[in-house]
Structure formats: C-alpha cells, structure tokens
Amino acid sequence: MMVQALGWFSSLLLVLTIGRQVWKQWSEGATEGISTWLFVGQTLASTGFTIYSLLLQSWVFVATNATMLTAGILGFLILMRNRRLHSRGNASRVG
C-alpha cells in the first residue's frame, strides 16, 4: 500500500509541476527560449512510456505518462499559438 501511495504522490507532484509550467506559458504568452524539439521529444517519449506502462499494467505510470503526453501536446499547441500571436503583433508594429 505504501509503495502505491509513493507512486501516486510522486506522479501528482510531477503532473502539478508540469501543469504549472504549461499554465505559465499560456498566461504569459511565452515563446523565448522554448524549443519545439522539447515538445516533440516529450511527446514521443511519453507515447512510448504510456504504451510500455500499459503493457506492464502499471496504472500509476499509465496515468502519469498519459498526462505527460497530454501536457506535451498542450505545451506544443500553446507555443505555436504564442508564436503566431507574437508574429502578428510584430507585423502590426512594422506596418
């Protein structure tokens, strides 16, 4: 029971940490210093880890990795949105 609790608690901490970062990226419109490859790598790794966890029937890791996959996709979409908004803002300042 304690092993499962440790796993779920650790999962919660990781998800909250990443969730906070995605929220900050969304609310601040951040783009500088954020690599597209970060999200590509995270998405690919999280996909592989989710499948691996499913095959092992390790539910704490299924939940964690599926959530991390979702965060990676959301982070990428937010980055693309923010870059599009920044490019529009710069174009309107020039014209």
In a domain, 70, yes or no: yes
Higher pLDDT, 35 or 81: 81
pLDDT tens sequence across 38-61:
888 889 999 999 999 999 999 999
Interior CA angle at 59 toward 73 and 5, to 5°?
110
In a domain, 31, yes or no: no
| Residue 18, pLDDT score | 87
Residue 26 in contact with residue 34, Cβ under 8 Å?
Answer: no
In a domain, 45, yes or no: yes
Task: Count structural domains, the chain.
Answer: 1
Q: What residue type is assigned to position 75 of the chain?
A: G
In a domain, 10, yes or no: yes
| Residue 71, pLDDT score | 92
Query: pLDDT-derived band of residue 95, with 50, 70 and 90 as boundaries?
Result: very low
Mean pLDDT of 84-92: 78
Give the Cα separation of 8 and 35 in Å (integer).
Answer: 29
In a domain, 24, yes or no: no
In a domain, 76, yes or no: yes
Give the Cα separation of 95 and 88 in Å (integer).
Answer: 11
Mean pLDDT of 24-49: 87
| Residue 58, pLDDT score | 94
The domain of 51 spans: 2-16+36-90
15 pLDDT more than 60: yes
